[in-house]
Structure 1
Amino acid sequence: MSWLDWIIVFVLNGSVIAFGFYLARSTHSSSDWFLGGRSLPWWGLGLSIFATSVDNADAVSLTGYAYNNGMHIITAFTLASVCGAVLASFVVVPVLYKGGFYTNAEYLETRFGKSIRTISALIQIQYRTSMLGLMIWSIYLMLQGILDFSPVQCWSLIVLLVIFTAAYTTWGGLTSVVWTDALQSLIMIAGGITIFSAVWSASGGWTATVQKLSESTDANGQPLINWLHIGQFQDSQSTSPYLIVMGWSIIGLGYYTVNHTQTMRLMGARSLWDMKMATLFGCLLIMPIMIGTTLMGVMGRVLVPEFTEHSSADQLFPYYANQFLAPGFKGLVVAGILSAAISTFDSIGSALSALFTRDIYARWICTSQTEKHYLKVTRWATVGILLIGFLYIPFIVRYDNMIQAFRTLIPIFVTPLFTIYLLGVLSRVPRQSGLVGLIAGSSFGLLGFIDRELVDIGWLSPLLTEKWYAFPCSMLVTALAMFLAAFKWGWLKKETTLVLKQEDISKDQNWLENSRAELQDIKINPFKKPTPQYLNPNWYALILIAVSFWIIFGLFW
């Protein structure tokens, strides 16, 4: 890179980190650190949701995935993302918000019992730290590919990023994270537009790309134009495109509810109106950026037809940056990549440390300490969470199939958890049903994983265990187990669904209860008068859902 590129990188990313330290000075209490004092406006949260959802690994994985598999992955970032965000912010998270909870796992104890609270926290910590490891490895590959750094230089830069990010995150909590994410999102958007414009120009634009794809086929004789059409593309197993869309939709539906990096932000909103508008604004930003990133993968079929192997396709984004970006613009794209990495580090670090402190440490290990003690533990836990991500690197490097295993294992636990949250909010299934459903759904998921990846279980139908069928089947198995539990133990009365059982309450757990009591009163909206109709989130949600349906079943079908 040129000296101009380096100046852009240091000025943009350095300014954001410095701003994070500046904001950290205002954090003093538990509600400040964990929920930003419930004072965060919709536009700041929306930018933070975007920055958290779009990480540096997406630049590598999406372009490479689309190069080999076409456009159907955009379902996760359009239809699934919008519906999942609406479900979370309009239905599920408001229940947690009104209940005065700090974490999504904390709600599960009140609804289903203390064991499922702990299991949920452990599952989230495991799967998000494993993904953190993948993201760290991804940025290493990006730095090597774009900057031509040596391994020592790459790891030194990554470690420095983690140190500075951990410092302002541990000090400032959610407030620092959200507002630095907001600035980082602007850098990410600028970098994304820059590289997409360069690739678009190099490919000759839409008409030229469509024409060249129409004239070519892949190694199996499938027309490359199918890469642009979800309904026509055929994978190696000739899976129904409707089933693939359903699978991505289930993943997206659960993302905003089960993933505490998102629920933590929503629960820090200054009002329920801000919570809803934040998710809609975040989705509005996510859709065009992720569609553009995916399109760059398909354009690679025209620009770089020799990248036929999956490992080669993962080098597509660095190739674009090196081939098509002039000095200055390359620095902006690198700054965007580093911003995506920083926003990932601070989001995962703050969210998972909150789960560890409130749902494991203060609940089970040390139950009668002061607020100062627990904030200190949370700050150290943030550092520990980020370090755990590095521990996965040797396994990711040595065993490529473990990366696939991590990705396959995620829906095994997340989909049952999502079903439990959903039925917990929408139905009166008994407390015992949560653990029953989690055991049934996770056992089914693990059995399917063994059948797909390790040993063929002859008596299991592929319709139950194939990777795309596994998502709806996992939800059905979990829900069925919970309904069967309802027939055994009976349905809860409506007024008891959010009442903690007396035997689950420890007299020593003063901090957990006192911190909930210090939260600000719930606000419906930030206005002094009733919400005007033109600012009603319901209308914007309907419009965004309709647009996302058109993108999947119209524009790219």
Structure 2
Amino acid sequence: MLDLVLVLAFVAYSVSAGLRARRLASRDLGEFFLAGRTLRGWQAGASMAATQFAADTPLLVTGLVAAGGLSQLWLLWIYGLSFLLLAYVFAGPWRRAQVVTDAELVELRYGGRGALALRACKALYYGGVLNGAALAMVVVGAVRFTEVFMPWHAWLPEAWFQPWVTLVGAFGGGFVAVGGASPEVAGADALLSLVVLLGFTALYSLTGGLRAVVATDVVQLAIMLIGTALYAGAVLVAAGGPSGITAALVAHHGEAQATAWLSLWPGEEIGPALLVVLVLPWLFQASADGTGYLAQRCMACTDETEARRAGLLFAWLQIVIRSVPWVITALGLLVLLPPGPGPVDVAAREQTFVQGIDLLLSPGARGLMLVAMLAALASTIDTHLNWGASYWSHDVYGRLWCEALRGRKPSGRELVWVARAANVGLLVVALILAAKVGSIQSAWHVSLLFGAGIGAVLILRWLWERINLWCEFAAIAVSLVLAPALLAWSEDAHWRLAVMAVSSTTVTILVALFTKPTEVGARVEFFRRARPPGFWGCTASAAGEDPRAPRQALARALGHVLRDGLALYLALYGAVRVLFPLPGEGRVGAIAALVVSAALVVWSRRSRVE
């Protein structure tokens, strides 16, 4: 009963947040998608973290650790560099650009007739392909969660439940589930749960826009952090503490296997793929410069200083604060729910995160964790709905259909209603895609591959004046053509990423060098408004400014990234190693890492004040 009360209280708060914000959100797209540009840095940063604190991510972490140890989490941790680049390099230009969507930036950056076609292309690619894939992964994570706690086949009369089984058949099969129910029943359970959960999330996202999303995200993040900390504490108690976990891993699996699970550094067997793990994912991705909801949060801040603070808070929440309880839980579940012999069943190991909630937590704590998982699901879906709908309403419907093709300017309220309709369409697409997805890891690797083809051009368009719209067209084309071929050619995710990144970057640079640069007037207008750092000497001269200033600004920003990155990863290393030193090693190095990290943080804060 207590569990149900906590869940209902969370639902009531979220829905009320949407209703409170509905009047402002209905005015125009700036209010609906950017909250009137009124966000403070802590609000935007917390909202970013809540969005990536998705219901699928702790399950992904649990599967990664079981399959390859803590070193596999560098696939997630390395993105801290991207978040710091967002804070120091891209957040300011995004805020100064004064655009509503990142697709709109294309027309400001390049100008001319071709820019509109590229804007529409990117809106469709991000708003449809990438956003749909991301929503599908979140929905799969929700299935892993709901199949344990929402057995609709046991709650509903057969006459009420059977139509859902029939409806699942219309998707071409059942949702992939790892529970004991038959595929048809599991699929119907999943679909019914998702309709309820997604309907609730869409209710406040549709009505209140980004204001409601951020208001709920801040509370959801607090609930998620408290819930996962309680869960990690329960795992520690049940497993005998950090030393008990390490001892049990050694006793049951041998010191070599225990060391492999606890090591933070990939083993020698990975070989050259290590460079791919540490270099490519964070740099070559679909949001390399913050494109998407991260840029949206920066653009919604009151000014560029708040946008930078949002990026910094996000980096620390994402890499350090949320990682520690997940590491504890993933390692503890290896002891409490040990894997069987033979190759690791990734989907089954992902599911142990949810099984542990049911086994280890008392009713009140379980209710809080259920709310935390629901919050994680809601905070990710509401953002993807709000962000994805911005492309369809602002770029596709407003700019392309109404202005370019029909020759009229749509009203703000009209665009808001189109955005709300787009939310519903995105939910349907996510459900259809989720019915075809197996493990979260498999879907994640596919999305990484498609994103790797466009990461380089997203960064270079801010840093190098030679990049033109044909570079972006070429990068998208390489991604769409090469990704399916690589998926058919190789099962090695690391090499697929490497081939995609090298191919796309090479094509982008060649196109930049052998095609005409963007017209000077368009470059100057973009430069004066966004003030991008980097190699803009000719454009700065044309604007009557110091051609060295953009390069100097980039050098300063990269210095901040290196300093804060060192502090970030030393804190992460110290926190994990204080809890889980390798067998036979002490904690002196971990404590020293924490001290150095704290000193770098103090230095960083003082330099920002000065």
Q: TM-score range by the shorter chain?
A: 0.7 to 0.9
5+ residue gaps in structure 2? 154-185, 527-555, 583-610
The question of whether the paired residues in 2 share the 8 Å contact of 1:169 and 1:177 is answered with yes
Percent of residue pairs bearing the same amino acid type: 19
Residue 492 (structure 1) shift: 4.7
Of 428, 433, 448, which aligns to 1:411?
Answer: 448
Q: Letter of the aligned partner of 1:140 in structure 2?
A: V
The question of whether the paired residues in 2 share the 8 Å contact of 1:417 and 1:438 is answered with yes
String of CA shifts for 1:314-362, please: whole Å, max 9, x gaps: 2211221122111100000000001111112210110000011122222
String of CA shifts for 1:496-538, please: whole Å, max 9, x gaps: 32659xxxxxxxxxxxxxxxxxxxxxxxxxxxxxxxxxxx999
Residue 198 (structure 1) shift: 0.6
Change (3 A) 1:115 1:92: farther
Distance 1:386 1:234 in 2: 43
Distance 1:355 1:539 in 2: 34
Residue 177 (structure 1) shift: 0.9
Distance 1:60 1:193 in 2: 15
Distance 1:108 1:172 in 2: 28
Residue 391 (structure 1) shift: 1.6
Of 88, 91, 96, which aligns to 1:90?
Answer: 88
Q: In the alignment, does 2:335 pair up with 1:302?
A: yes
Q: In the alignment, does 2:509 pair up with 1:483?
A: yes
Of 117, 128, 132, which aligns to 2:131?
Answer: 128
| Alignment correspondent of 2:119 | 117
Equivalence map 1:456-475=2 (5 Å): 466-475=492-501
The question of whether the paired residues in 2 share the 8 Å contact of 1:89 and 1:266 is answered with no
Equivalence map 1:12-91=2 (5 Å): 12-27=10-25, 28-78=27-77, 80-91=78-89
Of 447, 458, 483, which aligns to 1:421?
Answer: 458
The question of whether the paired residues in 2 share the 8 Å contact of 1:105 and 1:355 is answered with yes
Of 296, 308, 311, which aligns to 1:264?
Answer: 296
The question of whether the paired residues in 1 share the 8 Å contact of 2:31 and 2:209 is answered with yes
| Alignment correspondent of 2:203 | 167
Distance 2:290 2:559 in 1: 26
The question of whether the paired residues in 1 share the 8 Å contact of 2:133 and 2:447 is answered with no
> Number of paired residues?
499
Name which of structure 1's ranges 65-74 and 467-476 shifts more when overlaid on structure 2: 467-476
Runs of 4+ in 1 over 6 A off after TM superposition: 536-540
Q: In the alignment, does 2:372 pair up with 1:346?
A: no
The question of whether the paired residues in 1 share the 8 Å contact of 2:88 and 2:561 is answered with no
Change (3 A) 1:239 1:69: farther
Residue 142 (structure 1) shift: 1.0
Distance 2:523 2:487 in 1: 34
Distance 2:360 2:86 in 1: 40
| Alignment correspondent of 1:526 | none
Residue 291 (structure 1) shift: 3.6
Distance 1:538 1:37 in 2: 31
The question of whether the paired residues in 2 share the 8 Å contact of 1:16 and 1:183 is answered with no
Change (3 A) 1:413 1:141: closer
Residue 48 (structure 1) shift: 0.6
Change (3 A) 1:291 1:550: same
Residue 541 (structure 1) shift: 5.8
Distance 1:291 1:91 in 2: 28
Distance 1:166 1:284 in 2: 29
String of CA shifts for 1:59-110, please: whole Å, max 9, x gaps: 22211221122113432443x3322122223323432322221111211233
Distance 1:309 1:160 in 2: 29
Of 219, 225, 229, which aligns to 1:183?
Answer: 219
Change (3 A) 1:178 1:158: same
Equivalence map 1:378-457=2 (5 Å): 378-396=419-437, 400=438, 406-431=443-468, 432-453=470-491
Distance 2:423 2:232 in 1: 34
Q: In the alignment, does 2:415 pair up with 1:374?
A: yes
Q: CA RMSD in A?
A: 3.0
Change (3 A) 1:56 1:405: closer
The question of whether the paired residues in 1 share the 8 Å contact of 2:94 and 2:298 is answered with no
Change (3 A) 1:441 1:144: closer
Name which of structure 1's ranges 292-301 and 166-175 shifts more when overlaid on structure 2: 292-301
Change (3 A) 1:212 1:495: farther
Equivalence map 1:523-542=2 (5 Å): none
Distance 1:355 1:104 in 2: 9
| Alignment correspondent of 1:547 | 567
Change (3 A) 1:212 1:543: farther
Distance 2:271 2:514 in 1: 42
Residue 379 (structure 1) shift: 1.4
The question of whether the paired residues in 2 share the 8 Å contact of 1:250 and 1:471 is answered with no
String of CA shifts for 1:23-62, please: whole Å, max 9, x gaps: 2233222211121111101111121111101110112221
Q: Letter of the aligned partner of 2:147 in structure 1?
A: Q
Equivalence map 1:198-217=2 (5 Å): 198-217=234-253
Residue 206 (structure 1) shift: 1.7
Change (3 A) 1:407 1:64: closer
Residue 171 (structure 1) shift: 2.0
Of 145, 151, 156, which aligns to 1:142?
Answer: 145
Distance 1:174 1:353 in 2: 11
The question of whether the paired residues in 1 share the 8 Å contact of 2:96 and 2:304 is answered with no
- TM-score for the superposition, normalised by structure 1: 0.81
Residue 148 (structure 1) shift: 4.8
Name which of structure 1's ranges 168-177 and 345-354 shifts more when overlaid on structure 2: 168-177
Residue 240 (structure 1) shift: 4.7
String of CA shifts for 1:414-461, please: whole Å, max 9, x gaps: 2232211111100012423222333345544443223115xxxxxxxx
5+ residue gaps in structure 1? 454-465, 501-535
Of 221, 226, 230, which aligns to 1:194?
Answer: 230
| Alignment correspondent of 2:264 | 230
* RCO higher in structure (CA 8 A, sep ≥6): 1
Distance 2:241 2:563 in 1: 28
Change (3 A) 1:140 1:441: closer
Equivalence map 1:274-293=2 (5 Å): 274-286=306-318, 287-293=320-326
- TM-score for the superposition, normalised by structure 2: 0.75
| Alignment correspondent of 1:458 | none
